[in-house]
Amino acid sequence: MKLNQFIEKYSKIIENNLIKLYNNKNGLPVIEEAMKYSLLAGGKRLRPLLTLMTCDLFDGSIDEVLPYACCIEIIHTYSLIHDDMPAMDNDDYRRGKLANHKVFGEGFALLAGDALLNSAYEILFDCIINDPSIEKIKAASIISKAAGLNGMIGGQAIDLYYENKKIDIEKLNEMHSKKTGALIKAALEVGAIISKASEEDLERIRIFGENIGRAYQISDDILDVIGTKEKMGKTIGKDAQNNKSTYVTFYGVDKSKNILFDTISNAKKALAYYDCKANILLELADFIAYRDT
Amino acid sequence: MKLNQFIEKYSKIIENNLIKLYNNKNGLPVIEEAMKYSLLAGGKRLRPLLTLMTCDLFDGSIDEVLPYACCIEIIHTYSLIHDDMPAMDNDDYRRGKLANHKVFGEGFALLAGDALLNSAYEILFDCIINDPSIEKIKAASIISKAAGLNGMIGGQAIDLYYENKKIDIEKLNEMHSKKTGALIKAALEVGAIISKASEEDLERIRIFGENIGRAYQISDDILDVIGTKEKMGKTIGKDAQNNKSTYVTFYGVDKSKNILFDTISNAKKALAYYDCKANILLELADFIAYRDT
């Protein structure tokens, strides 16, 4: 299967599964609407697709991996809601639509984020009750660690702390590797571990994950300078407006592109062992290098 | 053991365990400080004590139950941080100290809450990796459901939605039962289930939990009218200032006290089966009825 076929087939399955997961709640309508508003806002579903891609590489069962993949997307979505709030990045738009707090107010946006994060763990425990295998438990633990203080939240904290402060390139790398990289790496690992990949396999996947996580962030920084609001669905040039340090402010656009291509090359090397069996992941790496949205 | 001896002995153990759990992080100092500021602000530790009390009743191992008890307190703490924020209750004080966002700013308060919630699940998965017994998995699942949209967050959403709106007594009860009751009931259940209580035991504990959860909220409403800021460590009379409906606005102080005593009596009846073996929980029920802080 080619990358675009894979994405077309499985992003629909992910979408349907996300809709199903939030279909049977019996709470206050407004909070459920707020949760679904952001969750079903047409994201690229990169993270859950990565989980299904490593599942495919290691001949795992898509059905078994799917709820884990969706939980990662749910956690990613909560982080975007909280990140957009005035206390954090103060963004009015996300994925071409008004940010959650602009539609539902800050209170419900806060709670919708909390509820999404918490519901991911509710779903994970349900999965583990159904199948308490050590792979499933470890997969859930990996997700929780990637989302936490040593992962995504830690990265958000660094980002917030260095607003209007000078950051060096090491700290910038740490910030990116935690804020964006950790959950991307976890997405890949989870698909592999549930599909019973070996420790050597997992190590290769981690190296691939670290590199494409970094590449994704570099391309984000580049697109914030050379992208368009229409394609990106969010405000462009925000980093410069906010005096934010990025790869581009450190290295300029051209050198950042070179670093991006080197990083993609390192990612692909890590999967050379699997030859064309890893084609979808290799194509994905190229897609990140050349993406314009 | 008497209730005050139990509380003295075990609240120290809980406190030390909470300190230990947050001692080995390697993130940005400010976010860790923000987390510890609220977590170690000298709460009553009611919820983890409840967990240890049912563990004691069913002759379970305190060591095994302790991290689960602490995770419930961690989740309770995150909810207080987010609840105090301007977008929610807009409270400047909590437990006699400035609210988290008044000290660290709204951005870090938001992230500290997120990090606490997430870390509770990181800890729970670590526990389950160490001992993947069905009781431990179910206990973690119970905690997650009590904290979520059908529990605490659902209750917070109802609370927020009905600010400055007329609420009827059924909705008020639903709000309390979710916002405060769910986690209190879960705390009791978790101690029982890990200590291998039977389904009949669990049903008795749930009825006890529902009633003391409700009683706790009624006494909260009463104390907001007749309590003092010095004893409570928070602003008094806030419900009236905010035009909030409470048990007292529906029934007045005297009738609310009668409902409180009836509710406590129902709680105690649920544990009659255990006779004096349940003394600590029975004493605790009376303590809630007559508390002044």
CA distance A100 to A81: 6
Identify how many contiguous H helices and E strands chain A contains and give both numbers.
Answer: 15, 2
Beta bridge partners of B94: B97
Please provide the DSSP assignment of A5-49 as one string.
Answer: HHHHHHHHHHHHHHHHHTSS--S-HHHHHHHHHHHTS----HHHH
pLDDT of residue B24: 64
Query: Which helix (H) or strand (E) segment is A274 a member of?
Result: none
Specify the residue for token string 């009015």. A92
pLDDT of residue A230: 59
Q: How far is B29 from chain A (nearest CA, A)?
A: 10
Give residue A231's pLDDT band: very low, low, confident or very high (50, 70, 90). low
- Two tokens at A117? 């994060």
- pLDDT tens for each residue of B79-101: 999 999 999 999 999 888 999 99
Nearest CA in chain B to A22: B149
- pLDDT tens for each residue of B98-138: 999 999 999 999 999 999 999 999 999 999 999 999 999 99
Length of chain B: 293
pLDDT of residue B232: 59
Mean pLDDT confidence for A94-103: 93
Residues 6+ apart with CB under 8 A from B55: B61, B62, B65, B191, B192, B194, B195
Class of domain B3-290: mainly alpha
Cβ of residue B226 closer than 8 Å to a chain A Cβ: no
Mean pLDDT confidence for A187-214: 98
Cβ of residue A175 closer than 8 Å to a chain B Cβ: no
Predicted TM-score of the model (pTM): 0.95
Put simply, the answer to whether A118 touches B161 (Cβ < 8 Å) is no
Cβ of residue A28 closer than 8 Å to a chain B Cβ: yes
Contact (Cβ atoms closer than 8 angstroms) between residue B149 and residue A25: yes
Is the ipTM of this structure higher than 0.90?
Answer: yes
CA distance A174 to A187: 19
Specify the residue for token string 């969010």. A234
CA angle, A187 as apex, A185 and A190 as ends, to 5°?
A: 105
Nearest CA in chain B to A113: B114
pLDDT higher than threshold 90 for residue A275: yes
pLDDT of residue A291: 84
pLDDT higher than threshold 70 for residue B235: no
Put simply, the answer to whether B144 touches A150 (Cβ < 8 Å) is no
Query: Looking at the partner chain, which of B115, B134, B157 has a beta carbon nearest the beta carbon of A149?
Result: B115
- pLDDT tens for each residue of B190-227: 999 999 999 999 999 999 999 999 999 999 899 988 87
pLDDT of residue A232: 59
Nearest CA in chain B to A78: B114
pLDDT of residue A233: 61
CA distance A6 to A281: 10
- pLDDT tens for each residue of B134-149: 999 999 999 999 999 9
- pLDDT tens for each residue of B13-48: 999 999 998 876 677 899 999 999 999 998 899 999
Q: Residue B61 to residues A138, A226, B65, B193, B246: CA-CA distances in angstroms?
A: 25, 60, 6, 12, 39
Domain ranges of chain A: 3-290
Report the share of chain A in percent with pLDDT over 70: 94
Using CA atoms of B54, B57, B58, B61 in order, give the dihedral in degrees to the nearest 10. Answer: 70
Rounded to the nearest 5°, which phi and psi values hold at A43?
-65, 170
CA distance A282 to B2: 65
pLDDT higher than threshold 80 for residue B237: no
Q: How far is A28 from chain B (nearest CA, A)?
A: 7
Task: Write the single-letter amino acid at B170.
Answer: E
Query: Looking at the partner chain, which of A114, A137, A153 has a beta carbon nearest the beta carbon of B128?
Result: A137
- pLDDT tens for each residue of A156-181: 999 999 988 899 999 999 999 999 99
Question: Using a CB-CB distance cutoff of 8 angstroms, which residues of chain B are in contact with residue A87?
Answer: 85, 105-107, 109-110
Query: Looking at the partner chain, which of A31, A82, A86 has a beta carbon nearest the beta carbon of B114?
Result: A82
Specify the residue for token string 């009236």. B240
CA distance A78 to A117: 6
Mean pLDDT confidence for B163-179: 93
**Helix, strand or coil, per DSSP, at residue A162:** coil
pLDDT higher than threshold 90 for residue A293: no
Beta bridge partners of A97: A94
pLDDT higher than threshold 70 for residue A30: yes
Cβ of residue B236 closer than 8 Å to a chain A Cβ: no
- pLDDT tens for each residue of B59-85: 999 999 999 999 999 999 999 999 999
Report the share of chain A in percent with pLDDT over 90: 83
pLDDT of residue A234: 61
Q: How far is B113 from chain A (nearest CA, A)?
A: 9
Q: Residue A41 to residues A93, A117, A258, B288: CA-CA distances in angstroms?
A: 12, 17, 33, 46
pLDDT of residue A229: 59
pLDDT of residue B231: 62
- Two tokens at A210? 């670290």
Task: Write the single-letter amino acid at A42.
Answer: G
pLDDT higher than threshold 90 for residue A97: yes
pLDDT higher than threshold 70 for residue A24: no
Mean pLDDT confidence for A239-243: 70
pLDDT of residue B236: 66
Mean pLDDT confidence for B258-285: 97
Question: Using a CB-CB distance cutoff of 8 angstroms, which residues of chain B are in contact with residue A150?
Answer: 25-27
pLDDT of residue B1: 86
Q: How far is B12 from chain A (nearest CA, A)?
A: 26
Interface test with A, best of B35, B91, B100, B111 (most A CBs within 10 A): B111
Cβ of residue B140 closer than 8 Å to a chain A Cβ: yes
Range picked from A63-77, A83-97, B237-251 for highest mean pLDDT: A63-77
pLDDT higher than threshold 80 for residue B264: yes
pLDDT higher than threshold 90 for residue A16: yes
**Helix, strand or coil, per DSSP, at residue A42:** coil
- Two tokens at A273? 């062992």
Task: For A159-272, list the strands marked E by DSSP.
Answer: none
Nearest CA in chain A to B141: A125
Cβ of residue A174 closer than 8 Å to a chain B Cβ: no
CA distance A36 to A29: 11
Q: Is B110 exposed, middle or buried (0-12, 13-18, 19+ CB in 10 A)?
A: buried
pLDDT higher than threshold 70 for residue B230: no
pLDDT higher than threshold 90 for residue A256: yes
Give residue A226's pLDDT band: very low, low, confident or very high (50, 70, 90). confident
**From the CA atom positions of chain B, what is the Rg in Å?**
18
Put simply, the answer to whether B82 touches A30 (Cβ < 8 Å) is no
Contact (Cβ atoms closer than 8 angstroms) between residue B91 and residue B53: no
Put simply, the answer to whether A161 touches B88 (Cβ < 8 Å) is no
